[in-house]
């Protein structure tokens, strides 16, 4: 897609260029992005907690740098490829939040840890801990590890405080590993829409982390880091005094899913929509609807359709019209849209939509001001 | 994701390397792929029709070259970026099957047409035809055009034989445009599972193309190409004697969706599954299920879940466990899978799943034999 990127690059800095971006394009409102970065950091600072923003949402080194510059204690990566990208981009304080198991991947992880000693990863299995230690030992690298604790989501994690403590002991005893603490993530809690229901459920889950921490400390082992949570519970979890940092991710862009969540007890929607798909009308042969150039290869579409925020009459509805194309249904069944009309949509779910694109087109005011590569994308990592 | 690619590249040609590919990876069985290419071409040759395979399915120049080498009359592209990739890869006989509307995109199209005079595209709107002619005229390029005919899908296309004829006349009268014929695509027909129901519906749609062709010819205009159809109707449409070529796409890989379609009246499933996602177990802390490394960023999941074909006990079921992770539920609720177990899945729908990855890992027998870039991917184009 080099030619699309090159074409759009020629628009940078030109007055009115925000409206001229070739589509489909993933567009970031720079002012909204920075407002979200600064707003979350200010909330954390005021609340006396740290944030360790999750980079799986943006996969972009420039955004990781901005999160660190604002005061984050580190960033998270879901996949090794994201961690490599952030470290190469100058952010070595990366927590890789899923276990590294395959031999080839362990080898890449050790390359990374050798160059960036602050890299931390997680484990939930004695066999994996033994493999990590053996590999790190043979490379002469010390690897920072957290014990992953199952906080009720059952995707990863030791299943009890005793199991967490046993794994912590194995890590502490391993000459090439350094025990740093525990992690637990309850992804199923983040999107409970009602604040009070989410609070009750999240507190149960965070207390599981607390119990694991207490068992580890009771064994005389280090547990300096207790990390978990996310955007959906950032205003809930810190009050328990268990987490040392919160893994906020989606706040950076917000999306239609989070627009349906009451994020705080008051000031329910503190973050601005900062990420948009721009799409254009490519056919308008019928009254009442038009065909656009972004379909299921341009939007992730679980749960909600894309939400149109500009470019068409209020009340217009977006739907998917195949892999490459979308459909805009107009409120007036006799109306037609002009060809090439620019339509701006908030995306249903930021993480998997961003994963579809190679580039972020950065806009401010009426201008395209920059293009940032989504270096960490690729379905793999 | 350079490091993943580099790691896997080091495996090429090694015995047993098929089982060592780092995951999640999109894997092509080369023998199945070539069997599908040759089998479709042989069926077309025996039936006396041409094929113009749709490259939106694979977005890969190497596969386009193989389709041409087997005897295709050209390839299709859904987006301009795909057309650019195929032309750069030596296949200039590209039909771009959707209208090119935005000025920047028209400019790129003319760059392409200037270098590759066989490029053809489509139009369904007088305003667009005028814009294409003006731009081509100022560039001194002749642009080949088909009239897009709405074959009942309503996504694109002139709405009647009279409208098709009027647009054909406008194209024929435009000094920088060359009228070549008509195109129509009924995407909603391709996946009707029952052969006879699909035949009845597709014949109605193809006759709409015939009516447009007849109207254009009655006006004394050229209509040498009549193109449409797809894998789902390749054994139906040619019998009507209307299409000059069929835009078969998914046959190249087949997928779970097409495994549910009776493709021919006899020999219902003539194509082999050639495209797989390989994923590995990254956590196995519970009896009865395990967590893998491919979720909704690794599979498109409309309609059907991924279908496991190797690596786990028969009866195991794959489901999505978040954006980055999958879940394999075992038939024995007391069983566990070993960490790092390799699991091979047929994908639900090949086009949008392929769009998630940057590379195709090509396997033959027990070896990884090559890596082909998916040059045309990128959500955009």
CA-based Rg of chain A, rounded to a whole angstrom?
Answer: 22
Which chain B residue shows the shortest CA-CA distance from A2?
B81
Lowest mean pLDDT across A32-36, A358-362, B82-86, B300-304: B300-304
Q: Which residues of B touch A380 (CB under 8 A)?
A: 1, 4, 22-25, 298, 357-358
What distance in Å separates the CA atoms of residue A275 and residue A258, rounded to the nearest whole number? 13
Measured distance CA(B333)–CA(B325) in Å, rounded? 20
Chain A residues lying within 8 Å of B108, measured CB to CB = 3, 7
CB contact under 8 A, B298 and A155: no
Query: Is the CB of residue A283 less than 8 Å away from at least one CB of chain B?
Result: yes
Tell me whether residues B4 and A154 touch, CB distance under 8 A: no
- pLDDT tens profile A13-63: 999 999 999 999 999 999 999 999 999 999 999 999 999 999 999 999 999
> Of the candidates B3, B159, B327, which has its C-beta nearest A84's C-beta?
B3
Structure tokens at A359: 């580039």
Q: Decide if pLDDT at A380 tops 90.
A: no
Q: Which residues of A touch B291 (CB under 8 A)?
A: 155-156
| Cβ atoms within 10 Å, residue A139 | 17
pLDDT digits (tens, 9 = 90+) for B56-69: 999 999 999 999 99
Kindly tell me if the per-residue pLDDT of A2 is higher than 80: no
The number of helices, as runs of H, and strands, as runs of E, in chain A is: 10, 17
| Whole-number pLDDT of residue A362 | 98
Q: What percent of chain B has pLDDT over 90?
A: 88
Q: In terms of CA atoms, which chain A residue is nearest residue B342?
A: A102
- Cβ under 8 Å to B: A residues 16-35: 20, 22-26
- C-alpha B36/C-alpha A7 separation (Å) is 37
- Is the pLDDT assigned to residue B265 strictly greater than 90? no
A322 touches chain B (CB under 8 A): yes
Whether the CB of A340 is below 8 Å from some CB of chain B: the reply is yes
Flag whether residue B282 sits within 8 Å of chain A, measured between CB atoms.
Answer: yes
Residues of chain A in contact with residue B358, where contact means CB-CB under 8 angstroms, are 378-380
Percent of chain A with pLDDT over 90: 88
Average pLDDT value for chain B: 95
Instruction: Note which residues in 98-127 of chain B have CB less than 8 A from chain A.
Output: 98-99, 101-105, 107-108, 124-125, 127
Segment 161-190 of chain A within 8 Å of chain B by CB: 187
Q: What is the mean pLDDT of chain A?
A: 95
Residues of A with CB below 8 A from B183's CB? none
Query: For residue B378, what pLDDT is reported?
Result: 77
Helices A80-88 + A103-115 axis angle, to 10 = 20
Beta carbons of B81 and A1 less than 8 Å apart? yes
Domains contained in chain A, CATH given: 2-28+271-373 (2.40.37.20), 31-259 (3.20.20.10)
Quickly state the pLDDT bin for A349 (edges 50, 70, 90).
confident
Count chain A–chain B contacts defined by CB atoms under 8 A: 189
Does B324 have pLDDT greater than 70?
yes
| A102 with B4: Cβ contact below 8 A | no
Provide the 3-class DSSP secondary structure of residue B44.
Answer: helix
Sign of CA dihedral B48, B52, B56, B61: positive
Mark which residues 214-243 of A lie under 8 Å from B by CB: none
How many C-alpha atoms does A207 have within 13 Å on its Cβ side?
Answer: 6
Q: Which pLDDT value is given to residue A348?
A: 85
- A-proximal residues of B, 185-204, CB under 8 Å: 187
Residue B318 vs residue B259, higher pLDDT: B318
pLDDT in tens, A312-333: 999 999 999 999 999 999 999 9
Q: CA B372: distance to chain centroid?
A: 16
- The CA distance from A336 to A289, in Å, is 7
Q: CB-CB: which of B124, B291, B355 is closest to A155?
A: B291
Gap between the Cα atoms of B65 and A36, Å rounded:
47
Nearest chain B residue to A356 by CA distance is B379
Q: How many CB atoms lie within 10 A of CB A317?
A: 15
- Residues forming a β-bridge with A290: A328
**A33: DSSP letter:** H
Tokens of A137: 């030992």
Q: Judge whether A288 is closer than 8 Å to chain B, CB to CB.
A: no
Look at residue B380 and tell me whether its pLDDT is greater than 60.
no
């Amino acid at each position: 897609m080099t030619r699309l990127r090159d074409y759009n690059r020629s628009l940078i800095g030109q007055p009115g260029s925000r409206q001229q971006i070739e589509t489909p394009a993933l567009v970031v409102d720079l002012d909204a992005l920075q407002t979200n970065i600064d707003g979350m950091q200010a909330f954390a600072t005021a609340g006396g907690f740290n944030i360790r923003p999750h980079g799986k949402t943006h996969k972009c080194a420039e955004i990781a740098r901005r999160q660190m510059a604002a005061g984050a204690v580190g960033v998270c990566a879901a996949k090794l490829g994201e961690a490599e990208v952030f470290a190469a981009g100058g952010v070595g304080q990366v927590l890789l939040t899923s276990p590294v198991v395959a031999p080839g991947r362990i080898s890449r992880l050790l390359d990374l840890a050798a160059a960036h000693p602050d890299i931390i990863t997680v484990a939930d299995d004695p066999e994996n801990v033994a493999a990590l230690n053996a590999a790190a030992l043979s490379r002469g690298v010390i690897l920072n590890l957290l014990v992953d604790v199952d906080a009720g989501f059952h995707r990863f994690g030791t299943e009890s405080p005793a199991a967490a403590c046993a794994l912590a002991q194995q890590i502490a005893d391993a000459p090439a590993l350094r025990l740093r603490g525990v992690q637990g993530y309850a992804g199923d809690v983040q999107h409970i829409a009602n604040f009070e229901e989410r609070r009750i459920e999240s507190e149960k889950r965070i207390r599981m982390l607390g119990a694991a921490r207490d068992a580890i400390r009771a064994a005389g082992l280090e547990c300096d880091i207790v990390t978990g949570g996310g955007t959906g519970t950032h205003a809930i979890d810190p009050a328990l005094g268990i987490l040392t940092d919160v893994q906020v991710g989606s706040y950076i862009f917000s999306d239609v899913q989070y627009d349906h969540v009451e994020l705080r007890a008051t000031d329910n929607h503190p973050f601005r929509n900062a990420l948009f798909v721009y799409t254009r009308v490519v056919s308008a042969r019928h009254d009442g609807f038009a065909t656009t150039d972004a379909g299921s290869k341009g939007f992730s579409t679980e749960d909600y359709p894309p939400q149109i925020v500009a470019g068409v009459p209020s009340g217009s509805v977006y739907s998917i019209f195949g892999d490459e194309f979308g459909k805009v249904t107009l409120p007036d069944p006799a109306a037609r849209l002009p060809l090439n009309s620019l339509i701006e949509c908030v995306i249903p779910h930021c993480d998997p939509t961003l994963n579809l694109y190679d580039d972020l087109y950065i806009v401010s005011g009426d201008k395209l001001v920059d293009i940032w590569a989504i270096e960490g994308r690729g379905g793999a990592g």
